[in-house]
Amino acid sequence: MESIDDAAAGNWGGGGRLTVDLGALARNWRTLADRAGGAETAAAVKGDAYGIGLAEAVPALAKAGCRTYFVALPQEGIQLRTLAPAATIYVLNGLIPGTATLLAESALQPVLGSLAEIDEWAAYKAAGGDGRAALHVDTGMNRLGVTLDEAAGLADRAEALGLSLVMSHLACADQPDHPLNAAQLAAFGTAARFFPALPASLANSAGLHLSPDYHFDLVRPGIALYGGRFGDAFAALEPVVCAEARIVQVRQVGVGQSVGYGATQHVTRPSRIAILSAGYADGYHRQASSSDGAAGASAFLHGRRAPLVGRISMDLLAIDVTDIPEAQRGDHAELFGPNIPVDEVAAHAGTIGYELLTSLGKRYRRHYLGGA
């Protein structure tokens, strides 16, 4: 007799399923590489490759031609190193005290963003350490990075510090007309001139689309790779993730009756309500709920949209399938994907697509389509 564990790879699984199109991921990288012109195109794969799975994303990106990656944390870099032995890997969140030798052992390059980090790295190098590192210069975001004056003071120490890259980060690139973009570009141009022998990197997904002036030597897209929106002025690339939830029950609800916790929404016609086996424990945010006063997000099945009804709970949510008579128990409805953009759901939840992707729960049954 088949066990639940054995059947998990088939039709049992969880309440939700996640389809990740690694071919779309690779095509998105190639599209961005074409746009980058002569600049090298890296990939930001922090947050478990924006929630889609580092172990699956990196081989697909590597096969497409990507050779440089950015992670946030050392443990992400250590995992990535096993997947891409020859890749260049930068750790964006800098140098954790006492870890210089450990990073170097995995050929991970910390992005040094303060004088304290630089002093510790300099002591490691003076003691014979052979690791490499990047320098982060703050050009107006006021988050990480040394000041322009501090960068100028480090210009003649680049070789001794083993610097391989100078970089900064744009704060408002998703708003092309924001004046901070031009100000940061000018400031970073100054910083890059302090280190003429080093490659320079400024552009994220949106920055890559501002103008070639922002490209420098290396661009490092993130959300654009995964099909998310990276600014109102720019069209998203191919969707990579499709999240679906299974219908566990279809029920009749009479006029004036409420659906879900808090009785926040009442139906205004005799309705067929489908209950889906997914909720905020699966990363589908409660704020995307619907109520009498405000429509929430929608799902998609059998070629049509089905609006959410009432509050999203931990494991369940409700959709109105009155106009989709073929909807039945066992069907799967798209929560976001090619028909319901992830950023549309995020807008209903008062957040951004990044947060939905990186919040994907562990209960989805994942299926990966072919890579590059």
Q: What is the pLDDT of residues 232-249, one digit of tens each?
A: 778 889 999 999 999 999
Share above pLDDT 70 across residues of the chain, in percent, rounded to a whole number? 96
Domain end residue (candidates: 200, 226, 252): 226
Contacts of 179 (CB under 8 A, 6+ apart): none
pTM over 0.85: yes
Q: Are 39 and 51 in contact (CB under 8 A)?
A: no
* Residue 261 annotated as catalytic: yes
For residues 173 and 249, state if they share a domain. Answer: no
For 360-368, what is the mean pLDDT? 91
For 108-121, what is the mean pLDDT? 98
For residues 176 and 318, state if they share a domain. Answer: no
Contacts of 334 (CB under 8 A, 6+ apart): 242, 243, 244, 299, 300, 301, 340
| pLDDT value, residue 231 | 80
Burial 127-154 (b: 16+ CB within 10 A, else e): eebebbbbbbbbbbeeebbbebeebeeb
Secondary structure class of 146 (helix, strand, coil): strand
Residues 122-176: tens digit of each pLDDT? 999 999 999 999 999 999 999 999 999 999 999 999 999 999 999 999 999 999 9
Q: What is the CATH number of the domain that holds 98?
A: 3.20.20.10
| pLDDT value, residue 236 | 83
Q: Which of 46, 50, 214, 368 is catalytic?
A: 46
Q: Which of 63, 90, 125, 261 is catalytic?
A: 261
Residues 200-240: tens digit of each pLDDT? 999 999 999 999 999 999 999 999 999 998 887 788 899 99
Alpha helix positions (H), 65-167: 74-83, 100-105, 115-126, 148-154, 158-161
For 23-48, what is the mean pLDDT? 96
List 244's β-bridge partners, or say none.
17, 334
For residues 206 and 320, state if they share a domain. Answer: no
Residues spanned by the domain of 294 = 241-369
Average pLDDT, rounded, for the chain: 94
368 pLDDT above the threshold of 90: yes
The domain total for the chain is 2
